[in-house]
Structure 1
Amino acid sequence: MSDSSEAAAAGRVNIVAVAQRAGVSPATVSRSLRGMAKVAPETRQRVLDAARDLSYEHSPRASGMASGSRRAVAVVVPYITRWFFSTVTAGAVDHLRVNGYDVTLYHLGDAAIRDHFFERMPLDARVDGVLTLSMPLTEEHTLALRALDIPLVSVGSPIPGSPSAGIDENAAARSAVNHLLHLKHERIGFIAGEADDPRFDFVSSAARRLGYEQALRAAGLTVDERLVAAGPHGLEGGAAAMTQLLARSIMPTAVFAEYDELAIGALWALRRSGLDVPGDVSIIGIDDHEMAAMLDLTTIAQNVTAQGEIAAQLLLQVLRGEAGEAAVDPVLLPTRLMLRGSTSPPGTARSASRRRTRRPDRGR
């Protein structure tokens, strides 16, 4: 048995084993996985094939607290100005800094910037570990991160073989739709965020769309594409998607928005059209955005700050050599229904909905 085969069998695959399988030097493996232009395309493909064949993963060794530690962590995030990402980043950064780590923030706002980042890979020899926050990563990007051979932890988009924190996205979506079904809605629409570049789609988006469809089918309902719309990510995208639904031949009595910012945009579009929420259309989202309570938005709440904090804890555990075999299992935080005034049974008279007593927030 070759050295690379023995390493694979023992679960200790490293860059050397990949290099032996591909017939190149370890330095060429590192350059190939990082997408550097100096590597010939056929050589790079051979390295990628070898890495896949050997199920190459980054080393879980505890190097962070050892001699030579830089006490620095890279945090890689797709958006810094949107509520979810800024909140989860704050949770992670605060925990890392309290524990004596400097943080370098990399903001990769679109697919082109992301691809350029992974081509030049500025992290090598600068940080002890990497924390990615809901980053949509291709297989090649993941391999490039593993080629750094330092601890890697993620939030929201689990990377196989690495610790992660997040929620059960599919279950959260089913909870939202089940709430509307419980209220006796049948024409339930879905509003999704749509990336400018399909390479920048989020794992959570697909999971929430699937949860929507599963909940409808479990209730004996069919998925009607006329009740599904997408707009750019953010408030304006929610308004645009809701406007699309209002222009179609079938009118939803309730709408599930992929996340709260889309739901808030949908609320604005409905009220601008003279429609009552929830008298004419009920709205529910996911997040419990900081504006959700003020806007009386029913939502599935997730603890966003805690996801960042837990991810940072997981990274520090790996750096200190405290992470066991179970550390690679995703840490899933609970969610809960925050019942507010944007949802009610269908057909509620406008006058009745305006006279109803506002209910206090309550988790369920």
Structure 2
Amino acid sequence: MSTERGRESSAGRPGILDVAALAGVSPATVSRSLRGQSKVAPQTRRRVLDAAYQLSYVASPQASGLASGRTRAIAVVVPFITRWFFSTVVAGVTDVLRESGYDVVLYHLGSANDRDRFFERMPLARRVDGILSLSMPLSEEHTLALRALDLPLVSVGSHVPGSPSVRIDEIAAARTAVNHLLHQGHEKIGLIAGVPDDPGFGFASSEQRRRGYDLALRSAGLTVDPDLTVTGHYGIEGGAAAMAQLLSGPVLPTAVFAEYDELALGALWALRRAGLPVPERMSVVGIDDHELAQVLDLTTVAQDAHEQGAVAAQLLLQALETPSDHEPDTDIVLPTYLVLRASSAPPRRTRRKH
């Protein structure tokens, strides 16, 4: 028997059909009664609760899904689960969904090919109740495929038209970092920009942070020097390689802004190996407030990745509880703030003047 009763009875436990038979109602009415839905008459609900109490029945998530048409599972689509930002967002998502009785089904798409294969076979239909997309680089075709599922969708770090999203202002965060260096008296400020291992798998946040760097310099009356811009693959090793490239260039900056803390941490590593003291010889600032930023005393612009995941999960739960034909196009922008540590200081010439 494929019903709840068959599965439960094999383990010696009463099933939903047992409760329905004792209460004299249908299994669907049992499910609605136990979930407190208003469509059930009070006397019927009382009869169901009494029957469940007599049988010591405990509803399972799978049983509730059979009656309600829900799986009690949420798909979380993430590009790189091993990286700090994504793993921290997933932790925030999981904390909220677990409290509400939902399981998380994680889809790790680490390349453009993985992403395209995922959307070709689209394994989400009838397996999950909603979708959380974490900074996934999506084409218009991918977005349409997600919308065609007709499931609640919330994105983190990017915006899918017609769906709620949670993010930070990437441009403002970058301007905060660069303005901090400008206020300290730096004029030759280098940029370490992140590039993906897979050229077809770039992130909008990287482009926006570069734009913030440009805007901050231009607002201060400075020109962007191409000799002070280098790129490195996302990660600490990529940041170290980019810093080494900058050190071998024709112009040496007095400060460096790295798009991501992991790149900044790599830059600190390269400077230490080159024997250049930080911040006496060169200041370094990043964005994120990575868990190692405090350990290595990195000045950074902090974002709360865990909170972004928690807020996104709450938005998805709201969409599940109050479904409508048109989801609100909510765009929640969470704040960022400068965290001052020991990796930034005025350039040496300024200190000598003082």
TM-score of Structure 1 vs Structure 2, range by shorter chain? 0.7 to 0.9
SS in 2 for 1:313: helix
TM-score by length of 1: 0.76
Cα distance in 2 for residues equivalent to 1:93 and 1:323: 24
Cα deviation, 1:80-122, whole Å, max 9, x if unaligned, reads 1111110111110121111111110000011111111111111
Deviation at residue 349 of structure 1 after TM alignment: 9.7
1:288 deviation in Å?
0.7
Aligned equivalents of 2:157, 2:121: Cα separation in 1: 24
Aligned to 2:292: 291
Q: CA deviation at 1:336?
A: 0.6
User: Structure 2, unaligned stretches of length 5 or more?
Assistant: 1-64
For residues 349 and 224 of structure 1, the distance between their equivalents in structure 2, rounded to whole angstroms, comes to 21
Specify the alignment match of 2:233 in structure 1.
232
Aligned mates of 1:323, 1:225 — CA distance in 2 = 50
Aligned to 2:97: 96
- Mapping for residues 1-364 of structure 1, pairs under 5 Å: 67-321=68-322, 327-347=328-348
Any conservation in 2 of the 1:317–1:323 contact (CA below 8 Å)?
A: no
Distance 1:104 1:141, change over 3 A: same
8 A contact 1:173–1:212 mirrored in 2? yes
**Alpha-carbon deviation of 1:159?**
0.8
Structure 1 vs Structure 2 CA RMSD? 1.9
Match of 2:179, SS? Answer: helix
Alpha-carbon deviations, 1:137-177, whole Å to 9, x = none? 11111111111111110000111111011100000000000
Q: Which moved more, 1:192-201 or 1:109-118?
A: 192-201
Structure 1: state its 5+ residue gaps.
Answer: 1-63, 353-364
- Tell me the CA shift for residue 270 of structure 1: 0.6
SS of the aligned residue for 1:198 comes to coil
Alpha-carbon displacement from aligned partner over 1:161-210 (angstroms, at most 9, x marks no partner): 11011100000000000000000101001111111223211010010000
Amino acid across the alignment from 1:186: E
Q: Secondary structure at the match of 2:161?
A: coil
Contact persistence 2:154–2:164 (CA under 8 A) = yes
Q: Is the 8 A contact 2:319 2:327 kept in 1?
A: no
Contact 2:288 2:303 (8 Å CA) reproduced: yes
- Which structure has the greater CA radius of gyration? 2
How many residues in Structure 1 have an aligned counterpart in Structure 2?
Answer: 287
Alignment-mate amino acid for residue 115 of structure 2? R
Change (3 A) 1:113 1:322: closer
| Cα distance in 2, alignment partners of residues 106 and 167 from structure 1 | 23
2:62 corresponds in structure 1 to: none
8 Å Cα contact 1:279/1:348 also seen in 2: no
Is this contact kept in 2: 1:239–1:262, CA < 8 A? yes
2-side partners of 1:224 and 1:323: how far apart? 51
Superposition deviation, residue 329 in structure 1: 2.4
| Aligned partner letter, 2:182 | L
Q: What amino acid is aligned across from residue 71 of structure 2 in structure 1?
A: R
Give the distance between the partners of 1:322 and 1:117, measured in 2 at CA. 26
Deviation for aligned residue 1:67: 3.0
CA shift for structure 1 position 322? 7.0
Cα deviation for residue 325 of structure 1 reads: 7.9
Cα pair distance change 1:281/1:168, threshold 3 Å: same
Identity %: 66
Q: Give structure 1 regions of 4+ aligned residues with deviation exceeding 6 angstroms.
A: 322-326
Letter in 2 for 1:80: I
Q: Shift of the alpha carbon at 1:323?
A: 8.1
What SS does structure 2 have at the residue aligned with 1:196?
coil
Cα distance in 2, alignment partners of residues 115 and 203 from structure 1: 18
Partners in 1 of 2:221 and 2:267 — Cα distance? 26
Amino acid of the structure 2 residue aligned with 1:231: G
Q: Contact 1:255–1:281 (CA<8 Å) still a contact in 2?
A: yes
CA distance in 1, matches of 2:327, 2:274: 52
Q: Is the 8 A contact 2:193 2:232 kept in 1?
A: yes
Q: 1:144 to 1:326 in 2, by over 3 A?
A: closer
What TM-score, normalized by structure 2, do the two folds share?
0.78
Contact 2:163–2:327 (CA under 8 A) maintained in structure 1: no
- 8 A contact 1:76–1:135 mirrored in 2: yes
CA contact 2:76–2:134 (8 Å) conserved in 1: yes
Q: What's 1:17 paired with?
A: none
